[in-house]
Structure formats: C-alpha cells, structure tokens
Amino acid sequence: MKIVQLSIFLENKAGRLAQVIEILAKTGVNIRALALADTKDFGVLRIIVDEPDKAVKVLKEANVVVKTTDIIAVEVEDTPGGLDKVLKVFKDEEINIEYMYAFVEKNNNNAVLVFRVDKTDESIVKLTAKKVKILTAGDVSKI
Amino acid sequence: MEFYSKAESMSREELEKLQSERLIKTVRRVYEKVPFYKKKFDEAGVSPKDIKSVADLSKLPFTTKQDMRDNYPYGLFAAPMKDICRIHASSGTTGKMTVVGYTKNDIEVWAELIARCITMAGGTKDDIIHNAYGYGLFTGGLGVHYGAEKLGATVIPVSGGNSQRQLKIMEDFGSTMLTCTPSYALNLAETAKEMHLDRSKLKLKAGLFGAEPWSENMRRDIEKMWGIDALDIYGLSEIMGPGVANECLQKNGLHIFEDHFIPEIIDPATGKNVPDGVAGELVFTCITKEGIPLIRYRTRDITRLLPTQCACGRTLRRMERLSGRTDDMLIIRGVNVFPSEIEMVIMNIEGVEPHYQIIIDRAEHGLDELEVQVEVNEKIFSDEIKVLEDLEKKIAKEIFTILGIGVKVKLVEPKTIARSEGKAKRIIDKRKI
C-alpha cells in the first residue's frame, strides 16, 4: 500500500516551520510522522497526516508550496537487524532509496520505516514477497 | 612633476584650437563613412559645415547605447574591417553586446593615454606593473597592458582570480604597481592578511583602480592596507576603455584627456549643457578615434566637471569621482550587468515564475556578491532536495554562460517577493561603497 506524504517547501527563516504547523493545528489535522530535510537556504518538510486532502487544501490556501508524494511505510521489530532486513530487499532488487526516516510506534514498540524509492509499486511487491509488513494509510493514521 | 605628454599642460587656447581642428575632421569623417551619422545629422538639420569649432558641438545630435544596439555589431564603424585590428565588447541590455573596433592608430593612442595614467601615478619605465584586470573582450586587461609596454615598463599579465597566486607573484616578481578593480585590491589585501604576508617584502607603491564605482572610504582602506597611493582610472569601451580620464597624485578629480575626448555635462532630462561645477550626465565626443568615433555619446554616468585648475600643473579639466548612473546598470566585480539581462535568463527557464529579486552585497573588503532570488511554485517544486539544488545550479549556470558573472541563486517561497504597483522593485543594492 502506498501512503500519501505531504512535502512542503520552507524558506530558511525563523518562525516559518511554526507558521506552517500552526495552519495544520488550526484545521485539526493530526501529524503522524514528520521529517525535515534542510540545505543552507531552504528546507523540505515531509509529513504524514491523518487527513492529507484537507491538509493540502488549507496549506494551498495559505500560499504554501505543497506537493503529495507516494511513500512506503513498513513496520519492523525494534531490534538489531530490523532495518537491515528491509534494506537488503532494496539492495538485492536494485531499488534506489531517495530518502527515508524512521520512528517508533507507541502502541507496540515496533519501528516504522518510511521510504521514498524510485520504484514504488515494484518495491511493494518485493517487500510483500519477503514478508515485510507494509502499513496502510489506515494503519498509519492509528499510530 | 613629470608629464608623459606635452598635451597635458598645453594652454586652454591651444587645446581648444586642437580640439576644434580634430572635431571638424571627425565630424566630416563620420558623415561620409557612417550612414547612421549621415542620416542622424540630416534629420537634425546639421551639416558638417556648421561645425567650425568646439563651440558648435551642442548642435550635433547625441549617440546612445540604443544606437549601438541598433547597429550591432559593426554598423557604427568608420573604418573598413581591413583597418580594424582589434575588437572589444561588453554586455548589453538585450543580450546583444556593445561591440567596438580599433585601428592600429587607435590602439597606439590608447596605449599612450594609459602611459600618461601610469606616469600620473608616479610610474616610469623602471616599474613592474601587476595587471590584474581581466584579459579578453573586456577592455581592462589588454588596455593597461599595451599602455604599460608603451611606457617601457615591465608588465605582468596576471589577469584576475586566484588571489594567493597573485600575492606570491607580487612578492617574488617584485611588482611595484597594481592595476585592478578597487574591490579586488581590497580583497587581495584581505587575503594577504590571512596569509600573514609580510608587507615589507612587497615593493608596491601605487595602484590604478577602476571599472567599478568606489569611494574615498575605499581609497583610505586600500591605501592603509597596502601602504600605497590608490588612484581612480575611468573609461568605457564605447569611448576607448580605461584611460579616458585618470587621477593624478593630488587625488582630487580625474583629468580627462581632452585632446582626444571632449567632455560635456548635460541635464539628462532636457539634454541641455550645464555649466562646470554642476552635476549631470557625462557625454563624450571622440575626436581622434578611427575605428568607432562616437559623437556626443551619452555615458549614463553622473558626475560634474571641476571648474578650477589642478595643483599638479596639468591644464586638462577634471571630472569628479562618479556619483551614480542615470539607468539601472549594475557593475558587479567590474562587469556591466543590466537587470533586464538577468530577467531574460530567468524567463527562459521553463516553469520558473516571473517573480525574482536581485540582491547585491559586498562584505567588508570583499567582492560583490549577487544573489538572485526566485520564487518556487508547484511546477518546479520537488520533494527531493537534489532536484531543487540542481535547479538553483542550472539558473546560476545559465546566468554565468550568458552574462559571465557568477551569482548565487536562492529559491524562496511564493508571494514573498514584494509586488509593487507598476514597476516592481527588483534590485536591492546593499553595498556600502
């Protein structure tokens, strides 16, 4: 299952992240996962939210540059070797990871890995074949 | 005080007589050889016969940068190509460069005028001239080079860039005079400090600095950091290149080589001449040029002519240090740039918004930095950092390819660049010169 992630362009200036987050807070959108990539001048905020369509709408209304991106979220045991097992699948299948981030799920203490890859559909097939647990949008919104 | 040429101290009467003779000849020549001038004079109802002396100069029509563009590349040349031995060019407002051509005699005159400039700064044939102006289509490098050779001095054609190597050469080769842009002189001094270079090992005594606006504060800094005399040299490729005017060691205005170029100051709005001492737009008429003798060329530079004679003994009139421009031309590290040129480059990149801003800054003793801010939109925004960074690099590369200046491109959020009513404020010049 592909999951929709919101990618937001942020200029590198004090208070900008807070402004964007405030827009979401006021709309009642809940952030499930968040990662921030930055360069010297700008950042790209990547978030997974419970209501992506609503979030996109309010952000666009506020002139925020936002794009949706398909990502894959997988759940692994939070033990040594958990990430390694998943990365091996990508390596063996020559799937390129553009970026990834990870967080620990509070319900069962498993780790959730979020991947943006060059071949999303193919990855899902291969990961499923290797019995890696792929999360659905519904799963993620319950985290 | 030694002068390189007797022309520098001839009486005003003698000079005006010489100017009148040369003006009459030049006006006749351009009327016969350049169809553009024939048409222009005819339309203005003025015939070469009407020009009997310098006093008649204001009867002639102006020449503008637009005229040079309209006649790109060789349309204003008054000599056949077989007699043109060199071309120089500088950037123009619409992607078309301003092209100039020199005959052998023009190069010879130019060399003599640079030799006068070096002599003004106390230079002789015993000097070693460290020429850090760029060599190429830009007139700075080759202009100074030929002049230094003409004087009989030793010239090191080091050109711009690589400051550490420049300083090594300066120390090892015993450079005595430096020629470059004033900001580069400061930048070199700063690098010397960082390298803990022992100034007592240098033989530098003077420098001719130009091709960009500078100030008395910058002069003070350069002189203090290098322990030299720092003099202002002025020129523009349309008229000749560096060496149209130069400061003497009095450091109080630049002597214009009036035996070759007649200066006028006009009110840029009305085109009427203003008296000496009043600021306005500087206009030049070339009276000895063969390749491209421009008549009443509007430089767009703002200055005034000083009404008194200089203590150095030269009778050549002086213009004050430039105080500004009548157009929006920017001078970045010695390169002329029009904001419209940067705009054209940006507009030609697919998906990029027409909202941009140019910020010019100069760190203390640093070089000019030009930042081009471009608004991001959904079309060009990518989730991947490398795609965005590649876009920044692409814009910077296009600007470098077309304009020859390195810029920093910064992507900014939409609607953050101010939209003003009518003409947007595209340029923010933060330089403290």
Domains of chain A by residue range: 3-69, 72-142
Which pLDDT band, with edges at 50, 70 and 90, does B7 fall under? Answer: very high
Are B411 and A65 an interchain contact pair (Cβ–Cβ within 8 Å)? no
Q: Which is it for strands B98-103 and B84-90: parallel, antiparallel or unpaired?
A: antiparallel
Fold match flag (A3-69 vs A72-142): yes
Residue with tokens 């150095």: B312
More confident residue, B355 or B4: B4
pLDDT for residue A24: 95
Q: What is the pLDDT of residues A107-132, one digit of tens each?
A: 788 899 999 999 999 999 999 999 99
Are B378 and A98 an interchain contact pair (Cβ–Cβ within 8 Å)? no
Mean pLDDT of chain B: 92
Q: How many CB atoms lie within 10 A of CB A77?
A: 13
CA A31 to CA B199: how far, in whole Å?
61
Structure-block tokens of residue B320: 């004050």
Q: What is the pLDDT of residues B368-409, one digit of tens each?
A: 889 999 988 888 899 889 999 999 999 999 888 878 888 999
pLDDT for residue B420: 56
Domain A3-69 coded CATH 3.30.2130.10:
yes
Mean pLDDT of chain A: 91
Report the residue of A4, A64, A65 to disrupt the B interface, i.e. the one with the largest count of B CBs within 10 Å: A65
Partners of B377 on chain A (C-beta within 8 Å) are 65
For chain B, give every domain's residue range.
6-326, 332-429
pLDDT higher than 70, residue A85 = yes
The average pLDDT across B19-33 equals 98
pLDDT higher than 80, residue B285 = yes
Which pLDDT band, with edges at 50, 70 and 90, does A101 fall under? Answer: very high
Topology of the domain comprising B332-429: GMP Synthetase; Chain A, domain 3 (3.30.300)
CA B140 to CA B135: how far, in whole Å?
7
pLDDT for residue A104: 85
Structure-block tokens of residue B348: 């030609």
pLDDT for residue B95: 61
In this structure, CATH architecture of domain A72-142: 2-Layer Sandwich (3.30)
Are A67 and B383 an interchain contact pair (Cβ–Cβ within 8 Å)? yes
Amino acid residing at A129: A
More confident residue, B209 or B431: B209
pLDDT for residue B149: 98
Are A99 and B384 an interchain contact pair (Cβ–Cβ within 8 Å)? yes
Q: What is the pLDDT of residues A14-30, one digit of tens each?
A: 899 999 999 999 999 99
CA dihedral B209, B212, B215, B216 (to 10 degrees): 10
Going by C-alpha positions, the residue among B181, B136, B129 that lies closest to residue B150 is: B129
Q: List phi, psi (to 5°) of B8.
A: -75, -20
pLDDT higher than 70, residue B10 = yes
pLDDT higher than 70, residue A84 = yes
pLDDT higher than 90, residue B129 = yes
pLDDT higher than 80, residue B296 = yes
Top-tier CATH class for B6-326: alpha beta
Which DSSP helix (H) or strand (E) runs through B408?
strand B408-412
pLDDT for residue B106: 98
Are B412 and A11 an interchain contact pair (Cβ–Cβ within 8 Å)? yes
Are A10 and B413 an interchain contact pair (Cβ–Cβ within 8 Å)? yes
Question: Which one of A16, A39, A44 has the shortest CB-CB distance to B383?
Answer: A44
Question: Which one of B389, B410, B414 has the shortest CB-CB distance to A65?
Answer: B414
Q: How many CB atoms lie within 10 A of CB A106?
A: 8
Are A39 and B389 an interchain contact pair (Cβ–Cβ within 8 Å)? yes
The average pLDDT across B2-28 equals 96
Q: List phi, psi (to 5°) of B289.
A: -65, 145
Are B414 and A11 an interchain contact pair (Cβ–Cβ within 8 Å)? no
Residue A108 Cα, gap to closest chain B Cα (Å): 30
Partners of A9 on chain B (C-beta within 8 Å) are 376, 381, 388, 411, 413
Partners of B382 on chain A (C-beta within 8 Å) are 67
